Structure 1
Amino acid sequence: MSQSKTREDIKASEKWNLEDIYPNLEAWEQDYKEVSEKVEEVRKFEGNIIDAKSLLSYLTLTEEISQKYSHLQIYAMLLNDEDTRVSSSQALLQRSQQLGTKLGTAMSFFMPFLLAMDEEKLKGYITEEDGLKYFEEDLFESYRYKKHVLSKEQEEILSHLGEALSAPRNTFGMINNADIEFGEVTDDDGNKVQLTRGMYSKLIEDENREKRKEAYKAYNKPYLQLKNTIASTLSASIKNNVTTSRLRGYPSALERGLFGDNVPVSVYENLLSSAKEHLDGLDSYLKIRKQRLGIEELRPYDMSVPLIPGQKKEISYDDAYDTMLSALQPLGDEYISLLKEFKNSGVIDVRETKGKRSGAYNIGVYGVHPYVLLNHQDDLDSLFTLVHELGHAAHSYYSNKNQPYISARYSIFVAEVASTVNEVLLIRYLLNHTEDPKMKAYLLNHFIDQFRGTFFTQVMFAEFEKITHEKAEAGQPLNAEEFNKIYESLFRQYNGESLVFEDEVKYGWSRIPHFYRPFYVYKYATGFASAIDIADRLLNGDHQTLENYLDFLKSGGSDYPLELLRKTGVNLETGEPINNALKVFEGLVVELNKLM
């Protein structure tokens, strides 16, 4: 167990290269100045789009600025995430956000203007000016939002409020990444050291139960201490979302959350109900875990320790990368070559360092390449995280390469499919390449835990979001006590009687960054179910599935998510993929029980 390193200690090949976006800060400042000046040009179009030519000029200018602004904003975000303690990086990010608000304000007139235009008139403009054909689909998609767009004055006010409305998320981010100080734990030499996230991910899997308990208590300690502050930020975030949804005329915040992807509420509700109908498999697994660990009471800090002792292995980053390349062979030579190229080309920031943003993510930069943040810990979980994020990175690469800027950005809904297909291929590969019953049981245990975390836990989170937003819509108070009641009730429903409740559990809501991106987490569960379906067909050597899947990765945001998934053979509106995935889970539990 070692303390986190500084960035200077990490070799260059394991850090991303921001110079691929901007060679230096001077180049960033130059673009910042240019975008700032062009924001003023955008303002001049208000009231002056009078024909097809001026409409094309406006759209061409705003696309050019938007692409350049995205480079500014992403560069500042990545630089800040390298070390969230650095004030100059914080300032750069704030400046980019403020510029984004100014750009949004300058463009806020356009949607009300467009939706006031007769559709036949717009069709005439497109016929008259060939360049408008590039924007045609996007323009007509805007009419779907017609009843949710406010007046020009109201849109401008909301645009000005952009920074204030994002304050709860930003505040939680600073608390969670920069200010949080975990309690102390005992290292291998008997010394007290301050816990880090990376250490926690290892300690919570330690075979020594006292170490797990100590880490669990130390990890949760600051969240309990800050419960009222964090409850305030989460409550504000939910209320902001509810208020904005109401102002825009959506029946509910949930319907607003699903509107952009054109997903029916029935898909969300069916996900929740299907999960609850299949909790028996989860309960069976918890009973196996309790029995295998030989404990009288199964506690939350017992949920991550592998059930098969002695099988946990250190997996170096290089070995993890090689394993990934072998496991993803069903995706074809082109895909594998792309992942090989990513490794040493400034795409991936690998190691946990002091002040670095926690967790993992991928972000695509149009015209450059993807950037992947990891906090790699040389273990099996880190191997899965690598495979997951590289799935996102490949998706970004294919979309950006094959789509124009206007349709390159894919929905988060489909993003989770691309990452989870990789995870399913990995676990199937690992299971198929071991003859050792103990190792097979260990891997099955890991797969079940991944399923539990990616599906059941995310569905529980999704229900928490639904309930809290409905309470806010009904004008009911949201505070730490209320969040605790809701979270505890859901936790007990999803985990039954087999898992003994620890007081820290009810504060689980205080640790979840995704709650500040409303109605996001359910996409992990739908993505997981879709991925199991696609991966199983890929493993059966279905060439048509491979062709369709690669086309799906190249499609970006060129269609609605449910339509893109249908092209891969997955129809989420039927509920069949969800139920099939849950049957797979039940089968895994039965198989694990036999091996035990």
Structure 2
Amino acid sequence: MTMYSSRAEVPLEEKWNLDDLYSDLAQWEEDYRQIEEMAGKLKELDGKIQDGSSLYQYLKLREELSFQFGKLYAFAMLKVDEDTRETTSQSYLDRAKQLSVKVSAATSFFMPYLLSLEEETLKGYIAGEEGLSYFEEDLWESFRYKPHVLNRDQEAVLSQLGEALSVPGNTFGMINNADISFGEVTNDQGEKIKLTRGMYAKLIEDEDRKKRREAYKAYYQPYLQLKNTIASTLAGAIKNNVTMARIRQYPSALEKALFGDNVPKEVYDNLISTTKENIATMHRYTEIRKQKLQLDELRQYDLSVPLVSGVKPEISYEEAYDIMCKALAPLGEEYLAILKEFKKGRYLDVRETEGKRSGAYNLGVYGVHPYILLNHQDDLDSLFTLVHECGHGVHSWLSSKHQPQISARYSIFVAEVASTVNEVLLINYLLNNEQDEDVRKHLINHFIDQFKGTFFTQVMFAEFEKKTHEMAEKGQPLNVDVFNRTYEQLFREYNGDEVVFDEEVKYGWSRIPHFYRPFYVYKYATGYASAIHLATKILEGDKETLTSYLEFLKSGSADYPLELLKKTGVDLTSPEPIQNALKKFSQLVEEFSRI
């Protein structure tokens, strides 16, 4: 595996090219000054928007500011992520964040102003000012919130509560990231050392069951110790969601959360009920896991260990890029040409070096191009990460090219579709071209476990959120016992009777940060199911699906997410896409049990 001790050693072609954003820091400073100036002009328009012309003037200036700020902020963030220890880069990012606060303050008057207008007044403004036709859809989208906005004085009071309402989430964040101290595990030298999150992710997949059990117990130790405190933060977050939904006159906290994407409650309910109706294959996989590991008792710390051991093919970055292009060939020439441009134009930052931000992401910058951060390790996981992030990258690239700035950003609801379609095409290509039986087994096992984590686990979390919010809406108490009982029952329903429960299982709710961002996780599952549905059709050679899928990638947020997906043949208001995805899971488990 290629290792570099410093960023300077990494070949130029494996480092992203930030000159496409700013080749000269003096230009960054000039943009900073201009954005400050524009923010001042926007603030001056408070109380002065009285007709279509002044409304257009405000919106046009705000979009110009948004374009420049996007570039400025992206540059500062990407510079920090190259080396998080670099203080000069940190100071640029700090300044960009301060500028963001100034911009927010300067534009905070606009939404209350817009929603104070009568519908007829806004129609008159739009009819009288030609330039507003560009902003029309966006204006009416904002106007959709009018029934849920209070009068000016009440909104002023609510805005002052913002910080207080975020306390439960912030408190959990501090507990979970700063204060938590895991138990000890034994290292290879036989010494006791403190467990870290990074170590836990590796140890829970270790072939040595004693190591897995020890890591599992050490990992859950602080959550059990802090159970009452964390239950209090979670109950607070849930009650806040319920209270805000009532104040804003939504039928429920769930419907408030779904409102932004214009998703009916039935989509959420349909996801849960269709998954539960088809849960038998998941239970079957749990049984196969028990047999394959040759265990008398299957426990929670046995559910993540790969079932095929010793498979670690080395795949260089060059080779990985080549495999990706071959695997994604079914998406057509235009798609492959974009991927080649990503590499040639140095949109990717490939290698892990000291101080570099960990993980991987795609950042689309409108008017420039996407930037992709990797920490490539020359292994199979890195190949999957490359393919995943390039899925997001091409989605950003196509949406930016084919959409005006106002509708170029796509919703989180559809984001995972593009990345997962790529992963399904990759796994299909690898299985078709792999002769080694152990590698084939490993690939199928990888796909099944990924399916389990991205789909089944998220649906289980989604149901936990729904149940606990409904309890709060009925005025029922929320505490450790209630959370434990609810989580334990769901874990049993989703994983089957083969799992023997340790005390820790029922505390699974206490470690999930997503629960402080209400009704968010279901999007992973709907996105994943949509992608499986689409990739399967594309692999079957369905030309209509391929054409509509490429159109979808060019659509940004030109329509609501459900409508964009419907144009590709995926209707999430019906059980069909979920059933098709679960059928694919069933086939994978069947094939794995055969081989």
- On whether the aligned pair clears a TM of 0.5, the verdict is yes
Partner of 2:578: 578
Q: How does 1:24-173 map to 2 (within 5 A)?
A: 30-75=30-75, 77-78=77-78, 96=96, 99-159=99-159, 165=165, 169=169
- Equivalent residue for 1:446? 446
The one-character-per-residue Cα deviations of 1:342-387 (angstroms, maximum 9, x if unpaired) are: 3465544445667766554333221222233445454433332332
Aligned CA distance change for structure 1 residues 223 and 426 (closer, same or farther; 3 Å): farther
Which shifted more, 367-376 or 578-587?
Answer: 367-376
1:482-497 equivalent positions in 2, closer than 5 A: 482-497=482-497
SS in 2 for 1:363: strand
Contact 2:46 2:110 in 1 (8 A): yes
TM-score, reference length from structure 2? 0.88
CA contact (8 A) 2:416 2:528 kept: yes
Q: Percent identity?
A: 65
User: Measured at CA, do residues 194 and 340 of structure 1 come closer, stay the same or move farther in structure 2, by a change above 3 Å?
Assistant: farther
Q: Bigger CA drift: 541-550 or 215-224?
A: 215-224
Compared with structure 1, are the counterparts of its residues 148 and 67 closer, same or farther at alpha carbon in structure 2 (3 Å cutoff)? farther
CA gap 1:231/1:95 in 2 versus in 1, 3 angstroms: farther
Paired residues of 1:483 and 1:509 also in contact (CA < 8 A): yes
Q: Distance in 2 between matches of 1:169 and 1:459?
A: 21
Distance 1:159 1:55, change over 3 A: same
1:168-225, Cα deviation, whole Å (9 max, x unpaired): 5566556656776655555556566665555544443332323333444454455556
Q: Conserved in 1, the CA contact under 8 Å of 2:362 and 2:393?
A: yes
Task: Tell me if structure 1 keeps the 8 A contact 2:184–2:195.
Answer: yes
Q: How far apart are 1:275 and its partner, in Å?
A: 1.1
Task: Give 2:551's aligned residue.
Answer: 551
Partner Cα separation in structure 1 for residue 72 and residue 247 of structure 2: 31
Q: 1:472 to 1:577 in 2, by over 3 A?
A: same
Equivalent residues of 1:410, 1:557 under 8 A apart: yes
- Contact preservation (8 Å) 1:109, 1:152: no
SS where residue 372 of structure 2 aligns?
A: strand
Q: Rate the CA distance shift 1:104–1:74 in 2: closer, same or farther, 3 A.
A: same
Specify the alignment match of 1:366 in structure 2: 366
Whether contact under 8 Å (2:204, 2:301) holds in the other structure is yes
* CA deviation string 1:230-272 (max 9, x = no partner): 5555455444433433332222221111111111100101111
Residues 1:113 and 1:16: Cα distance change in structure 2 (over 3 Å) = same
CA distance in 1, matches of 2:142, 2:320: 44
In the TM superposition, what whole-angstrom CA distance separates every residue of 1:4-50 from its partner, at most 9, and x where no partner exists?
98767766655555554455776555544443443332232222112
Note the alpha carbon deviations across 1:469-506, whole angstroms, 9 max, x for none. 33444455555555444333321221121122233333
Counterpart AA for 1:43: K
Is the contact made by 1:104 and 1:159 (CA closer than 8 Å) also made in structure 2?
Answer: no
Equivalent pairs, count? 595
Q: Using the TM superposition, give the Cα deviation of residue 120 of structure 1 relative to its aligned residue in structure 2, in angstroms.
A: 3.7
| 469-478 or 528-537, larger mean C-alpha shift | 469-478
For residue 509 of structure 1, report the CA deviation from its aligned partner: 3.1
Which stretch shows the higher mean deviation, 416-425 or 381-390?
Answer: 381-390
Which residue is 2:464 aligned to?
Answer: 464
Note if contact 2:2-2:378 (Cα within 8 Å) is conserved in structure 1: no
Q: Relative to structure 1, is the Cα distance of residues 188 and 489 closer, same or farther in structure 2, using a 3 angstrom cutoff?
A: same
Q: Distance in 2 between matches of 1:533 and 1:219?
A: 36
Q: What is the letter of the counterpart of residue 562 of structure 1?
A: L
SS across alignment from 2:145: helix
97-106 or 460-469: which moved more? 97-106
Question: What residue is the counterpart of 1:530 in the other structure?
Answer: 530
SS at match of 2:135: helix
- Return the offset for 1:410: 1.0
CA distance in 2, matches of 1:506, 1:298: 16
Question: 1:392 maps to what in 2?
Answer: 392
Q: Could you list the per-position Cα deviations for residues 103-141 of structure 1 after superposition, in whole angstroms to 9, with x for gaps in the alignment?
A: 344433333333343434433333332211111111122
* Residue matched to 2:295: 295
Q: Equivalents in 1 of 2:217, 2:105: separation in Å? A: 46
AA at the equivalent of 2:258? L
Counterpart position of 1:412: 412
Q: Does 2:250 align with 1:250? A: yes
The one-letter code matched in structure 1 to 2:151 is: S
In 2, distance between residues paired with 1:239 and 1:356? Answer: 39
CA offsets 1:568-593 (integer angstroms, 9 cap, x no match):
11111111111121122122222222
AA paired with 1:304?
A: S
SS at match of 1:307: coil
State the AA in 1 paired with 2:52.
A
Cα 1:2–1:550 change in 2 (3 A) is closer
Question: What's the offset of the Cα at 1:511?
Answer: 3.7
- When structure 1 is superposed on structure 2, of 526-535 and 305-314 the one drifting more is 305-314
Distance across 2 between alignment mates of 1:190 and 1:566: 57
Of stretches 372-381 and 331-340 in structure 1, the one that deviates more from structure 2 is 372-381
1:294-333 alignment, distance < 5 Å: 294-333=294-333
Equivalent residue number for residue 284 of structure 1: 284
Distance 1:30 1:160 in 2: 34
Which segment drifts farther, 20-29 or 128-137? 20-29
- Within 1, Cα distance between the matches of 2:307 and 2:149? 54
Greater Cα offset, 439-448 or 579-588: 439-448
Secondary structure, counterpart of 1:573 in structure 2: coil
Check conservation: 2:4, 2:10, Cα contact below 8 A: no
Distance 1:341 1:138, change over 3 A: same
* Residue 507 to residue 566, structure 1, CA distance change in 2 (3 Å): same
2:338 corresponds in structure 1 to 338
User: Which segment drifts farther, 421-430 or 476-485?
Assistant: 476-485
Amino acid at match of 1:289: R
Q: Distance in 2 between matches of 1:45 and 1:376?
A: 49
Q: Deviations over 1:376-427 (max 9, x none)?
A: 4544333323322221111111111211111111111111211111111111
Structure-2 separation of matches of 1:569 and 1:318: 35
Q: Closer, same or farther in 2 for the Cα pair 1:446/1:400, shift >3 Å? A: same
Residue correspondence of structure 1 range 228-243 to structure 2 within 5 A: 231=231, 234-243=234-243
* Distance change (3 Å), C-alpha of 1:11 and 1:226: farther
Would you say the 8 A contact 1:417–1:528 is kept in 2?
Answer: yes
Secondary structure of residue in 2 paired with 1:382: helix
CA contact (8 A) 2:268 2:522 kept: yes
Task: Please state how far the C-alpha of 1:91 moved relative to its aligned partner.
Answer: 7.2
**SS of equivalent residue, structure 1 residue 261:** coil
Contact 1:102 1:160 in 2 (8 A): no
Distance 1:22 1:164 in 2: 39
Structure 1 unaligned runs (5+)? none
Structure 1: distance between partners of 2:484 and 2:166: 24
Moved more, 254-263 or 310-319: 310-319
CA distance in 2, matches of 1:318, 1:209: 36
- In structure 2, what is the Cα distance between the partners aligned to 1:168 and 1:99? 27
Counterpart AA for 1:458: Q
CA gap 1:434/1:542 in 2 versus in 1, 3 angstroms: same
- Look up the SS of the partner of 2:557 in the other structure: coil
Tell me the distance in 1 between the aligned counterparts of 2:9 and 2:242. 45
Partner letter of residue 211 of structure 2?
Answer: K
